[in-house]
Structure formats: structure tokens, C-alpha cells
A and B are shown apart, each in its own frame.
Chain A
């Protein structure tokens, strides 16, 4: 089992805390980060990226990058407007940010290009999530709507012109700001749960686009997380409790005042601001207004461990598999190599869509699918790859020669088989002819 780490950030400047979930030891603390809720993400587990809280008057936003090995900010990006939620797809090839004006920005990480920007909501975007297969993007907004964007549609200019709207579904039932969204398993067939300031959580079906369940809570829910079996979901409320909502669990036996609420975990005196679930350790993590991160055993409802993060409210918690960079044995190694490589992080995100390089083929780059040998892998864009391909075609290389040999070998075996077959057929024919002749002789002789 891979070890897991917890990363957490606060909405006041407390840096990004990083702990080992099993042992509880604290790793590096990455400095100067004040992120809004849903504003912290790990990009393909290669580095951390976070949007920053800013003055309301600030003209442009800020997104910062940290590499695992150094506590200082390494890359600073300044998008067009303040970005609140920030999310990367699971491979870490794209970063998506939601703006205050309701726009969604879509960047390619390796080049930093802004690939797409579109008007998604009437008011500020509050949260963004990818489905587990990265095909759909779900966004929630201050105007209470939850919208589902198929990436396929967004990058298909032809279809975009034809369709009257970009989104696949637009769920309007929430009356107030959407605070959190989680997606279940199953890509396009999954369920999503959205929490809102109207004190409800709603369960939607992505495939059918309908409301499956509406659960009213005794207080505003700021964060939700799913149990891995999708039996229940946990909802952290402003009343300091973590409520347990039933999904496929049977809630009929529990005589509760609130429909579909099975129970609650509580010890927080203050608002629960964020939640995360670690499948490996089977524990639930909750961040609170008082800056503590509590680790719960969801079965016994007991607190297992407490991490102290900052004085201000914890705004984000993520549970990640330990990236190789953070491996203590490799740490010195990493520093050496990162020094050798120079800046290992990708260039900053660009502010506007560059119309000049629209001609360039949309880059589809799979950056380091396996994170076990991350030090050798480098970010390559489509241009580099296409160059390499061209080179290969023109000059040929050892690999190409090998392939050629392989192909010739296959050809020869096929030819051999063919030869055998012909031979056999010839034999058969020969035998037949001989038989025929002999028989004819017999008949003649008999006559």
C-alpha cells in the first residue's frame, strides 16, 4: 500500500501544510499561500498549484506553483481576473480555474497556454470538479446553478456553433450559492452531490440529468465528501457537525427528525470548512474554522488524530499518494537533480488566449503517466513529439530498425506457412490424380 500524505491550506496566510497520514509527521511547509475554498490542487502529483485570495479590487488574479522540494513559491501566474476554484485533471495536463465573473479558464499546464475561456455562469464560480474519468467538468456557482460541461463539446468548435448551449446539464434547483460538489464513480454515469447555502444537498444523476434526492440539513453545508462505497456521504455543517447523509444506505430504520440523515460526528465547536476521505487508511479528515484538521474513524465516530494547521480557517484538504519527491531517501537526490535540471516546473499560465498559435495542433500530452520515475520524465509538448516522429521517419533509429526486423521476421514466417500449405495442397492433388488414374485403369480392366 502506498503511503498517503495530507496537504492543507488556509484562507489566511498559513502556507500549505503537509503531513504523513500514517505517522503524523509534518513534512515541508510551503510558504505564503492564502487560498479560497477549492483553490488548492496538486497537478498530477508533480507540484502544487493554488489560487490566491485577493482584494476585491484587484484587477488580476494570482495562481502560485510550489515544487515538492522547496518551500518557496516557484512560479507565479497572473490570470485575467481573480480565480477562486482551481482544479487539475488527474494526469495533471490541464488546469481549470473559475473566475469571479463566472468565466471558466482552461489552461494547458506544459505550455501554460490558455486554451479556452468561456462564460459559464452569471455569477462567480465557486467550485469545480472533474468526474473520475476526466471527461466531464462540473461547476457550481454563486447563482445556485450546477452545470456539467463535456470537454469533448468545449473543444469542438463545429459543434459549439451548432448547439445552443455548451453545457450538457444545467441544474437550477438550488436557491443560494453552491458551496461544494463531489462526483461519484462511473464517469458519465456517476452521481454528483451538490451542497448549497440554502441548507440542502442535492443528488443528481449525470446520465439522466435529473434530481435524484434532496436532503435538507439543520445548517448550511460547506463541504461534502463521499464514502468510497457511495453508501453514505459526509457533510460538514456550519453548526460544527459532520452529518452523515444516506445514499444507498437504508435510512428508514433510523428515526430521525431529518429525512435521509443517518447520524453525525461532532466535536468541533466551530464550522467544518472542508472534508476529505482517505480510502487507503479508511479515515475521514475534516478541517475546521479554528485551523485544526481532525482525522476520524468513520466506523466508530472517534477522532483518531489531530493536525494543527494555522490560526485561520482551513480552506482545503487533499489526501494524495506520496509523491516520490517527498521520499526522505530521495530528498537530497531530488534537490541535486532539481538543481541540475534547473527550473523543473512548467512556465506560468498565460493571461489571454493567444490567437497566433491557434494553428498549432491541440496538444495531447500525457505527462508522466507513471509517477515512479518522475525525475527522468520531462514535460514535452506536441511539437517536440511531432518533431521526434518526423526525425524517426526520415532517419530511422535503432528502434525503427528493430521494428523493421521484427516485421520481416513475421513476413518470413508467414511465407513459410504459405509454402507449407501449397505443398500440402500439391500433395493432395497429386494423390488424387494418381488414384483417379488407377481407378480408371481398374474400371477398364474390369470391363
Chain B
């Protein structure tokens, strides 16, 4: 019911709200008012021609007006000529716009790699040229320069590598050979790439080499392929290098550090080496194929081929080719190439003989060849450039030690003879000499080390002596022009010394190395002085190992030490080493002492004048060095053994030297040497005290003259210090021997008198010439003496001598008009307590000041003296 009701109501409504519109058939509905017009209208535009300039503006184009994109497309064109042109175009483009290449390098490589296995020869050739001359240099050079990440190069190579491998297994043999060429290029620019693909590559080489029917026709290409192989093999580090690598790692570590987890490089090589073993027989095969040609004519290409084969074999270091060697040698053609070939073969043979035991007759042939080469060198081989020959020989020499240790009887003798001849004949600076030296070291030292016994056959021993004798001469011949060679020689000498193989007779030869005396006093310095410090140190160390150092050699070393060119560090080092040698009993005591005295007495101190000591003087002066030299020598002397015996030896020589009037510094140093060994009651003999008194008085007067008294000096002034340095040794001597002081005072007194007795002492005086200066100096010496507490005590007991001096000064004054300044008279009077009147005054102000000073002193002195006298009187 409800339904019906509802429907009726609806119907009603409809009738009101929606008026039914009736449509006629065949008529379309009018579009609604809100519709969008979806119609598209277009018109075609026809251009009669294209404007090249406008569209490609800003883009890089080749000569033919093609862009990079187009060129890349053309590279895969079916027409070979188009492909070739495209490659040429790219070359143009990249040469003009290197930036383009850098931006699109991946895209370019991706496209180009497809062409590696191109069927057309010219295309491949062009591609090779393009890569070699343009693309690779730009990619690899730029990157390393601009410090981009290095591994950016990796992807470029790996992109190519897949296609190279593909080409290597191509059906056409040309393509294959070319692929090796490409690979060579890649390795050349990016060496690590070899290691990542080593196994595959070696496999490929093996395959290609098996197909030996191509060799004879296509030598050029084979050569290329082999060159690539050689390049790869060169990259393989020898075991030595691997060890070196590990060493470096260790050095950089700190002590007690944990072991770093570095992957061990050497492990990686094991795979490669296994592969290499496979390839060797193939190479040998290939080499045999070449032999027929060799016998007919040796043209350049096959020669190159063989050489590279040999090199690859050598680098692989495994094989057995040697049966071929003699045929080469006997072919008799006097051609360099043969010799080179033979040397290469011998080299390989030598490497191999360590692993395998070759039959004896074969071995002998090789020995004959080695001997022939060594001897021939010295005979006549002018034609082949000398440097080339030397290079070849120096490759052979390293095998000599091993050969010598293996062969027996006659051959050993012949080999050693040949070797010795080579060693003696080659020029000092050549590489052959260096190789010889290394061989000698190995033969003498390393072998001995291994056996660790003193069993050595006499024959080898004879040769050893010959070699060792040669060394000093070689050292002199080398001079200072070839420091590295000299260092090698020195090192060998040191090693020999350590094994007690240096002969004392060598010293006279070695003398020339340091310095030699020409006729009259001229010293000719050897190369030693001009060496670098480490070489100098090495040569000094060698000296330690002579069982008895010659006095002549010591003399020439001493003259080196005295040279101003020698660094002061080296000077002390020499003394140190020689002292050690002395302690070890390698130098006689008299030689050692005379060495020291020579140093001290002949050392030239400059400037000779002690004053004025200006700043600039201090810098250039070597007085400081000399002072420390004196110290070092003194401490060495005190360690030499029984002091009293050393003193006896020293005493005589020093007195001799010191009476020769050496400069002040040297005298002072010698006196210091004396007191370093002397004891409190002196060890000096009566006679030497007498002679020393003359010398000492002169020395003191000279010191007083050279170190003038400064007006107002403090206790720590430079003058004071200097004076102390020079006077102290004298004061020590006075303290130890009162008699000496007595004698010295006597001499001073008589010298003032100018009496004939003092002629001798006058002779000793070096600087203070003339009476007045001498008297001045004498007085100041007396003054200084009384300032020193110890000497002053001693002076009291020599009143008479002092009186005598003052009296003589005064008498001199009255007799002659000498310009003796009053201050000294005053002081002497004050001191001597004599009571002479002051006669003259030149500088009154100074005089008065000094007078006061002295007077003050005097009062104290008098009192002290009185007490001292009283004590003295009481004592007996």
C-alpha cells in the first residue's frame, strides 16, 4: 500500500518538474554549453634549405662539419670507408676540442670499443692511432694532473678490456694480433690493468704462440704482440722487489705497534707465476722456429723478435734453450747482434742453472763464452760502442761469484783470471767496475759468511789479495768526482776490515787518499777532504780495522785534520775513532801521542790576535773549536793508560815543541796537556823545569801583552775569562812546583835588566818586543799572580826575587828615559815594600786611582804577610 502511494506521488511531481522533450530522429544533439573544443588544427611548414651555421653554433664539429654524436653513429656504419672517416673525424675533433673528450669519454669509449674487432684492417689501424695519439694521452694525463681520483681510469680500461678479449679470440688472425697491440697500449697507459687480467692474458698469449705457422709471414705483428708480453712481464716484480716492499712497510711502523692487516702482495703473484710456467715452453718452441732464418741472414725484424722472445723468457726466468747457444757463437759473424743475443742467452742460462743441473759439456761451453766475452773486452772491440759493451758485460759479471763457487779445477782459475783482468782494465767510473766490486764483495764476504769457517782455497785467496790491493788505488783514481762509486769502494773496504782482511801494506796507498807531502812543506790533499760527511765517516771507520796503523798514514791524516776545510765535527770524530783504535791496540802509544801533539801544536788558530774580540771575529774564529779540541785531547790522554808513563813521553816532546815559540793558543793548549797528566808534587824533571822556566816567563809576558788590562773590568768580563784561560795552566804548574815559580821570577828579573843572561828568554818572547812593553807586561803578570789566592801564598816565599825585579825596573828607569808608567812602579813598590819614591807621572789621574787601589791592596797584603812571616818564623 505504501508503494503504490509513493509512485503515484512521483508521477505527479514529474509531470510538474521535468517537461519531456521530444526529439526527432536523425538530428544530433546540440553540444552542451560547457564543452571544451578538442579540435586540433595544423599546417605543414616547408623549408627550402637547412641553415648549418645557425643550428650547430656552439657545438664542436670536425673538419667535415660533423658533430661528435654523428661521428659516433658513423662508426657503426656498414661501410668501412665511412667508419674510417668517422674515426679520422673524431681525431680532428678531439684535437681541436679536448674538452669534448673529457666530457664524453665514457660514451666515446663505449662506442669505439666495438671497433676493436672490426673486420677492416684500416679501420683497426685508425682506431689504434686514435687511441694512442689522442684519447689515451688526454684521459690519463689530464686526470693525473688535475688530481682527480685515480680509479677513474679503471672503468675506462675495463670498458675496453672485454672487447679486447673478444678480439683476441677472433677467428681472423689479423684481428687477434691487433688485439694484442691494443692490449699493449692499455697496459702502457694503465699498468695495474695487467694484474687484474693477468691469467686471461697469458692464456691468450699461449694460444696465439701455439699457432706458429704465422710467425714467419707476419713478423712485424708478432713482434708487437711479443713487445706487449715483455711489457707485462717487466711489470712482474722479482722476488727481491717483493721483499723490499715488505721492508718498507716495516720501517714505517712504530715500535711495539700491532701488526697491520696489510694484504700480502706476494700471494697474488703465485697464480701468475704458475701461468708463466705454462707459457715458457711455448716461447721456446717459437724460438726454435726462428733458428733456420738466423742461419741464413739475420734481418732486423727477426732479430728484434728473437730479442723480445729472449727477454720474455728471461723475465719468466724458467726454461731450457741453451742447446742453441753454441750454434750462434760458432756462426762466426762478427756482428754485435750475435753477441747481444748470446749474452742474453747466457744470462738466461745462468738464471736457470740455479734450478737445474745442466750437462757438463754444455756448461763448459757457456764458461768458455763468458771467459771469451770478459777477455775480449780488454782486447779489441772498438767497433761496437764502448758503452754498449760495458752494459753487456756488467750484466754477466754478477754471475761470476756463483760460477766460481761451482766450477772446479782449471775453469775456476781461468774464470778468476778473466775476471781479474776485467776488473783491472775497466775504467774506474764505469758500471763494469761497480759490478765487479759487488761481485768481489760477494765472493769474499758473503761466501765466507755462509761457511763460517776459515777454509778457503789458496788460489782464490791469491786473487783476493790482488783485488783488495787494487782498492786504495781505485779510491784515489776515483777522486771526488764520483761520490757514489767511492762510497761503494769505502763500504767494501770497511766490510773487509771487519772481516780482518785489510793488509797493513795498503796504508801507504791509502795515504794518498788523505794527503801527501810534496817536496817542501806543500801538502797535496787527497779526495778525502772533499767528500760528503757520510763518506768521510766511512773512510775514518776503515782506519779502525788496520791491525797496526802506520805513522806515515797518521801523519797524512793529521795534516787533513789541520786543514781548515775539514768540518770540526769530523775532526772530533777522527780523534774519537783513532782513540778507539789505540785502545784496541792498533796504534802504538808514541804514534798516538805524536798525533795529538801535532794536532795541538800545529793547529792554526785565526785570528791570531786574541784582542779585540769583536762579534764578527767570534763568528769566524775557530778558537772555540781549538779549545774543545784541547779538551778532547786532554781527556784522551788521561785515558791512555798509566799517567806517569804517558807523562814521561809527553814531557819531552812538549818541551821541544813549546820552545819553538808557537802561537799563544798552541802553547796554552800544550801546557794544558801537561797539567792534565801531572800530579800535585810535579812529575816534571829538574831539567825540564829549568827549560820550562824560560818558556813560561816569555809566555806570561806575551799573555800580558796580548790580553791587556782593562780599566774597569768586572770579575766575569770577557777579558777576565780569557786571561784566566791562558794563565791557569801556569798557575797550576807553579802550585805543583814552587821552584818553577822561583826560576820564572828570576828570568823575569834578569830580562828587565837586559843582561846577556836573558837573551834566551828574550828569544822566546813572541809578541812583546821592546823593553818598555816587556816591563809593562812583567808588572801586570806580577799583579795577576798576586790576585790568585794560591799563587799569592807561594809568592810570599819569593820576596827577594820580587825585590830584585822592582829594583831593576827602578834602576832602568833612572838610567834610561823609558816610558814606564808610574802605576807599575807604584804597584811594584807597594808590593815589594821597598819605599822608592815616585819620580814621574804621565797620567796623573790614572796614576792616582791606581795608586789608591794598590795602596789598599798593600795594607791588606802587609798584614797578611806579616802574619805569614810570623808563622814562618815560628815554624822552624
Please give the residue numbers on chain A whose beta carbons come within 8 Å of chain B beta carbons, in ascending order.
Answer: 56, 119, 122-123, 142-145, 164-166, 170, 172, 175-177, 191, 197-199, 203, 208, 210, 212-213, 219-220, 230, 238, 247-248, 270-271, 289
CB–CB B577/A176 < 8 A: yes
B256 touches A143 (CB 8 A): no
Residue B708 is within 8 A (CB to CB) of chain A in the complex? no
Which of the candidate stretches B52-60, B176-184, B492-500 sits at the interface with the other chain?
Answer: B492-500
Known pairs A56-B585, A143-B500; A247 contacts B449 (CB<8 A)? no
A sample of 20 cross-chain residue pairs with beta-carbon separation below 8 angstroms, ordered by A number, consists of A119-B452, A119-B453, A143-B498, A143-B545, A164-B450, A165-B452, A175-B537, A175-B538, A176-B580, A177-B544, A177-B580, A177-B584, A197-B544, A197-B576, A199-B576, A210-B250, A219-B576, A247-B255, A271-B635, A271-B639
Closest chain A residue, CB of each to CB of B639: A289
B236 to chain A, nearest CB (A): 25
A198-B541, A208-B250 in contact; A165/B450 too (CB < 8 A)? yes
Interchain CB contact under 8 A, A122 and B452: no
Give every chain A residue within 8 A of B639 (Cβ-Cβ). 271, 289
Query: Which residues of chain A are within 8 angstroms of B498 by Cβ–Cβ distance?
Result: 122-123, 143-145, 172
Binding site for A on B (CB under 8 A): 247, 250, 254-256, 449-454, 494-495, 497-500, 537-538, 541, 544-545, 573, 576-577, 580, 584-585, 635, 639
Known: A166-B452, A199-B576. 16 other contacts (CB 8 A): A119-B452, A119-B453, A123-B498, A143-B497, A145-B498, A164-B452, A165-B450, A165-B452, A176-B541, A176-B580, A199-B573, A210-B247, A212-B250, A212-B255, A248-B254, A271-B639
Q: In the bound complex, do residue B451 and residue A122 qualify as a contact, i.e. CB atoms below 8 Å apart? A: no
Which 3 A-B pairs rank lowest in CB-CB distance, beginning with the nearest?
Answer: A143-B498, A175-B541, A248-B256
User: Which residues of chain A are within 8 angstroms of B453 by Cβ–Cβ distance?
Assistant: 119
Q: A175-B494, A177-B544 are in contact. Are A248 and B255 (CB under 8 A)?
A: yes
Distance in angstroms from B748 CB to nearest chain A CB is 35
Residues on the A chain within 8 Å of B494, using CB: 175
The reply to whether A164 and B451 contact each other, CB–CB distance below 8 Å, is: yes
Residues of A near B449 (CB, < 8 A) are 165, 170
Instruction: Give every chain B residue within 8 A of A145 (Cβ-Cβ).
Output: 498
A122 touching B499 by the CB < 8 A rule? yes
Bound CA–CA A208/B243 (angstroms): 13
- Shortest Cβ gap from B497 to chain A (Å): 8
Query: Which A-chain residue is minimally distant from B585 (CB atoms)?
Result: A56
Assembly CA distance A219 to B575 (angstroms):
12
Chain B residues positioned under 8 Å from A199 (CB to CB): 573, 576
B495 to chain A: closest residue by CB: A172
Bound form: Cα–Cα A56–B577 in Å: 20
The complex places the Cα of A123 from the Cα of B502 at a distance, in Å, of 13
Chain A CB within 10 Å, residue with most, of B247, B451, B454, B499: B499
In the complex, what's the smallest C-beta–C-beta distance from A386 to chain B, in angstroms?
35
Q: How far is the CA of A213 from the CA of B255 in the complex (A)?
A: 8
**How far does the Cβ of B710 sit from chain A's closest Cβ, in whole Å?**
31
Docked CA distance A175–B545 (Å): 10
CB of B247 within 8 A of CB of A122, answer no
* A212 smallest CB distance to B (angstroms): 6
Assess the A230–B256 pair: CB atoms within 8 A.
yes
With a cutoff of 8 Å between Cβ atoms, the chain B residues found around residue A143 in the complex are: 497-500, 545
In the assembled complex, which residues on chain A have CB atoms less than 8 Å from the CB atom of B452?
A: 119, 164-166
Report A-chain residues with C-beta under 8 Å of the C-beta of B573: 199
| B724 → chain A closest CB, angstroms | 18
Of A122, A164, A172, A247, which contacts B500 at CB under 8 A?
A: A122
**Which of B247, B452, B454, B639 gathers most chain A CB within 10 Å?**
B452
Q: How far is the CA of A199 from the CA of B533 in the complex (A)?
A: 14
With CB as the reference atom, state the residue of chain A lying closest to B497.
A143
In whole Å, how far is A233's beta carbon from the nearest beta carbon of chain B?
Answer: 11
How many Å lie between the Cα of A348 and that of B670 in the bound state?
A: 50
- Bound form: Cα–Cα A118–B550 in Å: 33
A144 to B541, CA, bound (A): 11
The residue that A123 contacts in the complex, of B255, B500, B576, B635, with Cβ under 8 A, is B500
Query: Which chain A positions have C-beta within 8 A of B544?
Result: 176-177, 197
Least distance between B708 CB and chain A CB atoms (Å): 33
Q: Which residue from chain A places its CB closest to the CB of B576 in the assembled complex?
A: A220
For A238, list chain B residues within 8 Å (CB): 576
Q: Shortest CB–CB separation between residue B121 and chain A, in angstroms?
A: 56
Q: Which residues of B contact A247 (CB under 8 A)?
A: 255-256
Please name all residues of chain A whose beta carbon is closer than 8 Å to the beta carbon of B250 when the two chains form the complex. 208, 210, 212
A166 to B453 alpha-carbon distance, docked (Å): 11
Whole-angstrom CA separation of A203 from B256 in the bound complex: 12
Contacts of A177 in B (CB 8 A): 544, 580, 584
Question: Which residues of B lie under 8 Å from residue A212 when comparing CB positions?
Answer: 250, 255
- Assembled-state Cα–Cα distance A208/B494 (Å): 26
Measured in the bound complex, the distance between the Cα atoms of B452 and A166 in whole Å is: 8
Please indicate the chain A residues that have their CB under 8 angstroms from the CB of B256 in the complex.
230, 247-248
Nearest A-chain residue to B250, judged by Cβ: A210
Q: Which residues of A contact B497 (CB under 8 A)?
A: 143
A270 CA to B635 CA, complexed, in Å: 8
Q: State the CA gap A238–B584 with chains docked (Å).
A: 16
| CA distance in complex: A56, B639 (Å) | 18
Bound complex: CA A197 to CA B580 (Å):
8
Contacts of A248 in B (CB 8 A): 254-256
Q: Find chain B residues with CB under 8 A from A203 CB.
A: 255
Kindly state the separation between the CA atoms of A199 and B450 in the bound complex, as whole angstroms.
29
Separation in Å of the B369 CB from the closest CB of chain A?
30
**Of A119, A142, A172, which one neighbours B584 at CB under 8 angstroms?**
A142
How far, in Å, is A157 (CB) from chain B's closest CB?
A: 15
What B residues does A123 contact at CB under 8 A?
A: 498, 500
Complex contacts, A197 vs chain B, CB 8 Å: 544, 576-577, 580
CA distance A164 to B538 in the complex (A): 30
Min CB distance B244 to A, Å, is 12
Please measure, in the bound complex, the distance between the C-alpha atom of A174 and the C-alpha atom of B453, giving whole angstroms.
Answer: 22
- Which of A119, A165, A175, A220 has its CB near the most chain B CB atoms (within 10 A)? A175
Alpha-carbon gap, A230 to B247, bound state (A): 24
Q: For B500, what are the chain A residues with a Cβ–Cβ distance below 8 Å?
A: 122-123, 143
* Alpha-carbon distance A200/B498, docked complex (angstroms): 17
Give min CB distance, A230 to chain B, whole Å.
7
Chain B proximity of A197: nearest CB distance (Å): 5
B630 to chain A, nearest CB (A): 16
Nearest B residue to A56, CB-CB: B585
B645 → A minimal CB distance (Å): 14
Return the chain A residue nearest B501 by Cβ: A122
